[in-house]
Amino acid sequence: MLAPSRPERLFADDLIAGEQHDLGSYLVTGPEIVAFARQWDPLPMHTDDQASTATHFGAIIASGVHTLAVFQRLAVTAVYSQWQIIAGRTLRDVQFCAPVHADTRLHGRLTVSAITDTHPRWSRVRTCGALWSTVSNEILTVEIDSYVRRRHP
């Protein structure tokens, strides 16, 4: 019996500006916040619950870099892994709109905002991404440019 074939990944030519993608969700836990921060952003607001309580956040919060990494993981799993991605080009206008506390479920969305044919073999694809939770409308917004292969003429 033959295994089901993997669908072909999408080229820039297949993408449509305005197209929205649900990225699913991810639960950020307290131990994860601390472990990530100890390695990459060891500020007390991310690693020390007592120190965080003294701040206006009231408890540890995820690093912005951690929050951005959650977005990237959701985007890769749901969308980018289905595209003929060559590489990222630009990360712009990253906005951390609200803190992420332990046991917060983040939901993601990615919108294709523009496709520019910059080369015969690839296009620059601009996407707008967002994370939100049930507690706070927006947690993160970001614009990303990536190079995506075009079909060969």
Joined tokens for residue 96: 């951390």
> Is the Cβ–Cβ distance between 132 and 139 less than 8 Å?
yes
How many CB atoms are closer than 10 A to CB 148?
Answer: 23
Pairing of strands 140-149, 122-132: antiparallel
- Of the options 3.10.129.10, 3.90.320.10, 3.40.605.10, 3.30.420.40, the CATH number for the domain spanning 12-29+64-149: 3.10.129.10
> Is the Cβ–Cβ distance between 107 and 113 less than 8 Å?
no
DSSP state of 79: T
Joined tokens for residue 32: 């994860």
Distance, in Å, from the CA atom of 148 to the CA atom of 15, rounded to the nearest integer, reads 10
| Tens digits of residue pLDDT in 56-97 | 788 999 999 999 999 999 999 999 999 999 999 999 999 999
Q: pLDDT tens, position by position, for the chain (153 residues)? A: 444 444 689 999 999 999 999 999 999 999 999 999 999 999 988 998 776 666 778 899 999 999 999 999 999 999 999 999 999 999 999 999 999 999 999 999 999 999 999 889 999 999 999 999 988 789 999 999 999 999 976
Q: Where are the domains of the chain?
A: 12-29+64-149
What is 30-69 written as a DSSP string?
HHHHHHHHHHH---HHHH-HHHHHHSTT-S-B--HHHHHH
Amino acid (1-letter code) at residue 144: I
In 6-151, the DSSP E strands lie at 20-28, 85-96, 104-117, 122-132, 140-149
